[in-house]
Amino acid sequence: MALIRSFARVSPGGETAGRQSGTRGPREALSLDDQTRVRRFESFFVPHLDAAYNFARWLTRDERNAEDVVQEACLRAFKFIDSFRGDDGRAWLLGIVRNTYYTWLKRNKVATLAVPFDEESFDEGEMEASTNTHADPVDQLLQEKDAKRLVNGALERLPEEFREAIVLRELEGLSYKEIAAIAGIPLGTVMSRLARARKLLLQYLRQAQES
Partner 1 sequence: MDCTDIRNRLHAYLDQELDPRSATEVDRHVASCAGCNAALARQSALRSALRSHATYHDAPAGLARRIRARLGAKAERKPWFRWHQWLPMGAAVAATALLSWTAAIQYVSVSEDEATGERVIAGHARSVVTGHVADVASSDQHSVKPWLSSRLDYSPPVTDLTGAGFPLVGGRLDYLDQRPVAVLVYRHREHMINLFVWPLQEGARTQAVHSLAKRGYNVLHWNDGGMAFWAVSDLNAAEMRDFAGAYAAAK
Residues in region 12-51 near partner 1 by CB under 8 A: 13-14, 16-18, 20-21, 26-27, 29-32, 34-35, 37-38, 41-44, 46-51
Q: Which of 98, 161, 201, 206 binds partner 1 (CB under 8 A)?
A: 201
CB closer to partner 1, 105 vs 141: 141
What Cα–Cα distance (Å) separates residue 46 from each residue in 49, 108, 122? 5, 27, 39
- How many residues line the site for partner 1 (CB under 8 A)? 86
Q: Which of 121, 125, 145, 211 binds partner 1 (CB under 8 A)?
A: 125
Distance CA 83, CA 74 (A): 14
Q: Which of 65, 69, 90, 180 binds partner 1 (CB under 8 A)?
A: 90
Q: Write down the least CB distance from residue 159 to partner 1, Å.
A: 17
Distance CA 19, CA 139 (A): 56
53 is an interface residue for partner 1 by CB under 8 A: yes
Burial of 158 (0-12, 13-18, 19+ CB in 10 A): buried
Q: Write down the least CB distance from residue 15 to partner 1, Å.
A: 8
Burial of 108 (0-12, 13-18, 19+ CB in 10 A): exposed
Q: Write down the least CB distance from residue 38 to partner 1, Å.
A: 6
Q: Which range in 54-62, 99-107, 109-117 contacts partner 1 by CB under 8 A?
A: 54-62
SS (H, E, C) 128-190: HHHHCCCCCHHHHHHHCCCHHHHHHHHHHHCCHHHHHHHHHHHHCCCCHHHHHHHHCCCHHHH
Q: Write down the least CB distance from residue 128 to partner 1, Å.
A: 5
Distance CA 67, CA 205 (A): 29
117 is an interface residue for partner 1 by CB under 8 A: no
Query: What residues numbered 136-195 form the site for partner 1, per CB under 8 A?
Result: 136, 138-139, 141-142, 147-148, 150-152, 155, 166, 169-171, 173-176, 191, 194-195
Q: Write down the least CB distance from residue 71 to partner 1, Å.
A: 6
Q: Which range in 69-77, 96-104, 105-113 contacts partner 1 by CB under 8 A?
A: 69-77
Q: Write down the least CB distance from residue 105 to partner 1, Å.
A: 19
SS (H, E, C) 5-67: HHHHCCCHHHHHHHHHCCCCCHHHHHCHHHHHHHHHHHHHCHHHHHHHHHHHHHHHCCHHHHH
